[in-house]
Amino acid sequence: MNVDNYISARQNRINDKLNIYLPSAQLKPQRLHEAMRYTVLTTGKRLRPLLVYATGEMLGAHLEALDVPAAAVELIHAYSLAHDDLPAMDNDDLRRGQPTCHKAFDEATAILVGDALQAFAFELLSTNNSLTAEQHLQMLRYLAKGCGSQGMVGGQALELVLENSASPSRNLLDTVHYLKTAMLIRVSIQLGALAAGAKEAILIRLGQFADDFGLAFQIQDDILDQAEDPNSLSYPNFLGIDEAKRHYYKLRQQAYDQLSFFGDEATPLRLLIEYALNTNSDNQ
């Protein structure tokens, strides 16, 4: 299997599904729906849906059973980006190379877009597809916990604590990024596994893989952004660039090692490590 073919096939699939699932811009309230579509349908890597597909496929799920959970995690991700870009948060003008939602529309609309995308993710996940009612319930629980106050939003809240701390600790830095970034990655992997009917032991093993993958992804992002803000509380600024790179490589290797348990069927997940954790950090 070739990495580019696999990634682009699944990206095309989720882009088609998102286009179909999202409310039409002709439906009232038109401006809100237009802004929701604008926010989601811009070109992102679709990493979280790719993780749902790759994990589910590894464990024998049908692609049709993975479309809805894959869309749900991308909707949550898109909502978090729209809210994170707001003036009260990061105050960014550009996202995915285009004006952020509040710049293209307005602040109130961007807040409502995030709210509506979050609700839509849960609505979609509760709809009937090829999964059992128990699988639906489990997925709803994992997603709700993963993106709430003890997950992604909690990570964002703790980042504010970190930024205002006189002596920020390494432990707090790690907690922020496990929650803010790695948690939705973890949930994506877990939803893929749940769609395949995976048992607790597999979920735990995949949770360890997800944590390594998710934190490595965040550190890579920090290394790539390093030049942008030398004063931010990023891994390179906190640990020093050499230690940040060393930690990145260690986590990436650990993620590969976690997959040795699975054999050849883990090829899609190995391809995703290649795709998402591909920084030659020595060149940064």
Verify binding: residue 152, ligand GRG, rule CB under 6 A.
yes
**Total chain residues near ligand GRG (CB under 6 A):** 17
Q: Name which of 91 and 127 has its Cβ closer to ligand GRG.
A: 91
Contact with ligand GRG (CB under 6 A) among 13, 33, 102, 180: 180
- Taking residues 196 to 235 in sequence order and writing x for each that binds ligand GRG by CB under 6 A, - otherwise, the string is ----------------------x--x--------------
| Rounded-to-integer distance, Cα 57 and Cα 106, Å | 40
| Rounded-to-integer distance, Cα 16 and Cα 18, Å | 6
Verify binding: residue 81, ligand GRG, rule CB under 6 A.
yes
- Least separation in angstroms between residue 66's CB and ligand GRG is 18
Lookup: tokens for 111: 């807040």
| Rounded-to-integer distance, Cα 240 and Cα 146, Å | 30
Residue number closest to ligand GRG, CB atom: 44
User: Checking DSSP bridges between strand 94-95 and strand 98-99, what pairing results, if any?
Assistant: antiparallel
Verify binding: residue 244, ligand GRG, rule CB under 6 A.
no
| Rounded-to-integer distance, Cα 149 and Cα 147, Å | 7
Q: Are 211 and 177 in contact (CB under 8 A)?
A: no
| AA letter at 143 | L
Query: Phi and psi for 98 in degrees, rounded to 5?
Result: -130, 160
- Least separation in angstroms between residue 250's CB and ligand GRG is 19
| Rounded-to-integer distance, Cα 221 and Cα 39, Å | 21
**Candidate ranges 133-141, 152-160, 227-235, 245-253; the one touching ligand GRG (CB under 6 A):** 152-160
User: Scanning the structure block, which residue is given the tokens 């795709």?
Assistant: 275
Interface with ligand GRG in residues 155-174 (CB under 6 A): 156
| Rounded-to-integer distance, Cα 127 and Cα 136, Å | 8
User: Scanning the structure block, which residue is given the tokens 């997959």?
Assistant: 259
- Least separation in angstroms between residue 230's CB and ligand GRG is 17
Q: Name which of 101 and 152 has its Cβ closer to ligand GRG.
A: 152
Residue 76's closest CA among 160, 127, 11, 145? 145
Q: Name which of 124 and 196 has its Cβ closer to ligand GRG.
A: 124
Q: Name which of 140 and 221 has its Cβ closer to ligand GRG.
A: 221
Each as own residue / partner, the long-range contacts of residues 252-261 (CB below 8 Å, 24 or more positions apart, any chain) are 252/212, 252/216, 252/277, 254/212, 255/209, 255/212, 255/213, 255/216, 258/205, 258/206, 258/208, 258/209, 258/212, 259/209, 261/205
Q: Name which of 174 and 197 has its Cβ closer to ligand GRG.
A: 174
Interface with ligand GRG in residues 36-75 (CB under 6 A): 44-45, 47
- Taking residues 112 to 141 in sequence order and writing x for each that binds ligand GRG by CB under 6 A, - otherwise, the string is ------------------------------
**Candidate ranges 17-25, 58-66, 81-89, 121-129; the one touching ligand GRG (CB under 6 A):** 81-89
Residues of the shown chain interacting with ligand GRG in the complex, contacts defined by CB under 6 A: 44-45, 47, 77, 80-81, 83-84, 89, 96, 152-153, 156, 180-181, 218, 221
